[in-house]
Structure formats: structure tokens, C-alpha cells
Amino acid sequence: MLPLLLLLLLLPMRSLPLRLLPLHLPASQLPTRHLPSRLYSSSGAQWRGVVKAVDNGKHKHTYAYPSSALSGLPFPPPYSASSPPFFVLGVETSCDDTCAAVLLSDGTVLSEAKASQTDLHEGYGGVVPNLAKGAHEAAIGPVIARALADAGVAAAELGAVAATVGPGLEICLRVGARAARGIAAEHGLPFAAVHHLEAHILMSRLPPAAEVTFPFLALLVSGGHCQLLRCGGLGRCEVVGGTLDDSLGEAYDKVARMLGLPVGGGGGPAVEELALEGDHRNVKLPVPMQQRKDCDFSFAGLKNAFRMANGRARELRGVGEGEELPRLDRADLAASFQWSAVRHLEQRVGRAMGRCEEEGAGIDRLVVVGGVAANAAVRGALERLCGERGWQFSAPEPRLCTDNGVMAAWAGIEKLRAGVSDDAGADEVFARYPFARPREEGPL
């Protein structure tokens, strides 16, 4: 009797049609009212439910491209370089930005639209999932409509749709993925389910940048991830180093907060700007993990050393609660943090390059991607390192390093070019989404 009841209950749910999100939700629907107040500390100052999702590459990963079209509409006809160009809509809502873009299948970017949630999470100490979801719901329709309008393309004229389906905040991913799948289903278009990390990596291959061919070594440095990967092809990456604790983007954001800099949309750019005015030699901070001769990363110790140095400087200057250190002191602190972090990256990446050379892996290109790859000090140091070792260096243009709609569209195009598409009728998204395999022979 009970199973029958359950079946009766489930049947109508399963037969619900896939619903396209309404194109215009009033901004007043931002769900502040849904905030569970018990998550506030008694002082109300600190949000305890904020997101911390560092994937340290220690999971058993199995993500791989199937050899042919998946359960969805196969891409007709098999894509080739001579196929006539078609329009692709890309949608990305894995964290706190609602992004869409329209690309031509040759990689030409026709339009980009983004609704940033910068102000919404300011003061919470991180991204608040419920708030982010509500803001995505309010913005997704207008953002997609703007991307299409700016490209001068109607939804019916699209050739394919792509959207990030993981990893990220599940309730946020779902908003973008549903909207994109809805458009694909409505117009009978091939749909490409995009992996956020792979999309960051594939941005290094977006034309007109010099064609980056596999295999290469990729350093992925973002707010949620810090990994070194050996990439042999689409869906074929293996982790050769990961962070033991925080990501570098997270450390930048914490440092920005401690220095009283704006953190909305990520504190990295503000720290980078302030560091330009400072001298790292005026504050001594350690380069992490000098004892461990591997390719892993750690930023928690550096972050703590920074906290202590900041505290000492404040004490020395007699700076009281709620007051700020003089700008030059803060600039020296920012410069020192960045200097140590960049040396850490250089050491680990240099070691991984050396091991690739020793193994005769046939890899002579480093690709640096993710939000932190927008940082000129990071790019400059790694480009120099490549120059010294006779490696080639690639990074997407800084604007396209942080999350955006172009990366979803371009990763979708790469997938379709490989003859793979996904089911637009599915509704799954993946908070944790297996991506690269751990190295079979163990860490480098």
C-alpha cells in the first residue's frame, strides 16, 4: 500500500513539463525574507552560512567525455571546421554572477551580459546561497534577453545552447541551467552541459588567441579552486597538485577584508591595486610550504601570518578598533602578501614543469586560468618563468578570467565540436562535479 501511495505521489511530479523561467521577475522578489535568521550570530555581524567550497583535488574523479553524442540531441551534422557558423547562447550562474553571452561557433564573441551581485553579499563575509539564488532568478531572464538582443539574435535563430551545470552552488546552478535547457527544449536545439572548471581552462583556447593545443599544464586559480592539472584533451585532465586548505582567490578576499578594501565581487583586484603602491620588503611574510617538495599549495598559513603582521602594524601605529592603518602601511602589507603568494605559485608550478620535463611528457605550455589569473603580478611572474624554461605561456585576457557567459558558450562549442551534446530534458546540476582524475602514478 505504502509503495503504491508513494508512486501516486511521485507520478504527477515526474510528468511536470520543463518550464522556461519567466523572462521578467520583479527585482522585489529578492528573497531576503527567506533568510533563516538563526544563521546570524547574536551580534548580527557575521554570517555563518557563507560558502566555502575549495576543491583540493583529493576526490576520486571520473569525469570524461563520452566518445559519441550523449542522451540528448546529437549535434547535426558532425561538426567540422568547414561547418557553417551558428549562434550559441552560453549561460553561467554557478556562484554570484548571472552571466550570458552569444558566440558564433568560430569563437567570435557577439555579446556579453552580466548581472553582478556585488552589493547584495557585501557585509556577509561571503556569498549567501539563498540571496544569490533569488538574485539569479530575478536576473536570468533579463540577462539572457540582453545577450540575445545585443547580438541581434532571436532565440529561434540559435544553433545551440550551453550552460554550466557544476560545480558550484546547487540552487544557483539550477536557475541558469533550467533557463538554458528550457530554451534548448523549446526550440529543439542541441544542449551542452558545461563543467565550470573545464570552461575556465578552455578559455585559453578561445580564438583569436594563438591556438592552444593539448597537452598542456594548467594552473587553475580562482575563488573556489587552486589546482595544477595536466590536460591531455577535452575531459582528460589529471590533478598533479591541489590546495591543502584555502584557494588563492579566497586568501585574496580575506586579505582585502582585513585591509578594509572593497570585497564585493572578489577582493583580489583591490589588493592588487593597493600592492602597486607598496614595497614587499617592508613586511616579512613566509613563502608557504618550504619543507614540502611537491606540487601542492597551501594559503592558510600565509593568511594567518598576514593577520598577525596586520595586527602588529596596527598596534605599532596605535590604530584603534574601527580605524584604518595609514594607506602606505596597508600597501606594504598587500605587496608582501602578493609577493609571498606569487613566489609560492612560481615554486610549485616550476616544480611541476620540471617533473613534466623529466618524465618526457611532451608538454611545453603553461595555461593560467580562473579569476586570479586576471592578476598582473601572477601573470607576469609565470610568464617570466615560462620564458626562462623555454615554455609557452597562455592566459585568457584578464576580463575573461573571472566567471562570465563567454566561457560557458565556448566550452559548449568545444563539446559540440567533439561531437558531444547533452540531454536538454534533464534537470540535474552538480554541486560537486567530478572533473579531473588524480594522477595514476601519484602526486608529482
210-229 burial: b if 16+ Cβ within 10 Å, else e: eebeebbbbbbbbbbbbbbb
Q: Which residues contact 425 (CB under 8 A, 6 or more apart)?
A: 18, 72, 181, 185
Distance CA 61, CA 52 (A): 20
| Closest to Zn ion by CB, 345 or 401 | 401
Site for Zn ion in 210-229 (CB under 5 A): 222
Spatial contact of 200 and 231, defined as CB atoms under 8 Å apart: no
Assess whether the previous peptide bond of 17 is cis (omega < 30° from 0).
Answer: no
**Which one of Zn ion, ligand KG4, none interacts with residue 252, CB within 5 to 8 A by kind?**
ligand KG4
Tell whether residue 126 is a contact of ligand KG4 (CB under 6 A).
no
Distance CA 117, CA 127 (A): 9
Q: State in angstroms the smallest separation of the CB of 273 from ligand KG4.
A: 8
Grouping H, G, I as helix, E, B as strand and the rest as coil, residue 341 is helix
Q: State in angstroms the smallest separation of the CB of 258 from Zn ion.
A: 23
User: Which listed residue (55, 92, 137, 272) binds ligand KG4 by CB under 6 A?
Assistant: 272
User: Which listed residue (166, 266, 278, 396) binds ligand KG4 by CB under 6 A?
Assistant: 266
Tell whether residue 402 is a contact of ligand KG4 (CB under 6 A).
yes
User: Which listed residue (112, 246, 403, 422) binds Zn ion by CB under 5 A?
Assistant: 403
Site for ligand KG4 in 216-235 (CB under 6 A): 222-224
Tell whether residue 56 is a contact of ligand KG4 (CB under 6 A).
no
Q: State in angstroms the smallest separation of the CB of 224 from ligand KG4.
A: 4
Tell whether residue 371 is a contact of ligand KG4 (CB under 6 A).
yes
Which of the ranges 138-146, 183-191, 370-378, 416-424 carries the binding residues for ligand KG4, by CB under 6 A?
370-378
Sheet with 160-166, strands from edge to edge, namely 109-116, 97-104, 87-92, 160-166, 191-195
Q: State in angstroms the smallest separation of the CB of 370 from Zn ion.
A: 6
**Which one of ligand KG4, Zn ion, none interacts with residue 117, CB within 5 to 8 A by kind?**
none
Dihedral of CA atoms 385, 391, 396, 402 in degrees, nearest 10, equals -50
Which of the ranges 19-27, 100-108, 157-165, 368-376 carries the binding residues for ligand KG4, by CB under 6 A?
368-376
Q: What residues are paired with 195 via a beta bridge?
A: 166
Distance CA 176, CA 100 (A): 9
| Closest to ligand KG4 by CB, 266 or 278 | 266
Distance CA 188, CA 18 (A): 13
DSSP collapsed to 3 states, 158-207: CCEEEEEEECCCHHHHHHHHHHHHHHHHHHCCCEEEEEHHHHHHHHHHCC
Tell whether residue 296 is a contact of Zn ion (CB under 5 A).
no
| Closest to ligand KG4 by CB, 96 or 238 | 96
The strand ranges marked E within 314-421 are 365-369, 392-394
Tell whether residue 97 is a contact of Zn ion (CB under 5 A).
no
Tell whether residue 374 is a contact of ligand KG4 (CB under 6 A).
yes
Tell whether residue 372 is a contact of ligand KG4 (CB under 6 A).
yes
Q: What residues are paired with 101 via a beta bridge?
A: 90, 112
Spatial contact of 361 and 282, defined as CB atoms under 8 Å apart: no
Q: State in angstroms the smallest separation of the CB of 264 from Zn ion.
A: 16
**Which one of ligand KG4, Zn ion, none interacts with residue 272, CB within 5 to 8 A by kind?**
ligand KG4
Tell whether residue 142 is a contact of ligand KG4 (CB under 6 A).
no
**Which one of ligand KG4, Zn ion, none interacts with residue 268, CB within 5 to 8 A by kind?**
ligand KG4
Q: Which residues contact 40 (CB under 8 A, 6 or more apart)?
A: 46, 47, 48
Tell whether residue 164 is a contact of Zn ion (CB under 5 A).
no
For residue 11, what is its C-alpha cell?
507520478
Tell whether residue 167 is a contact of ligand KG4 (CB under 6 A).
no
Residues that bind ligand KG4 (CB under 6 A): 95, 222-224, 249, 252-253, 266-269, 272, 370-372, 374-375, 402-403
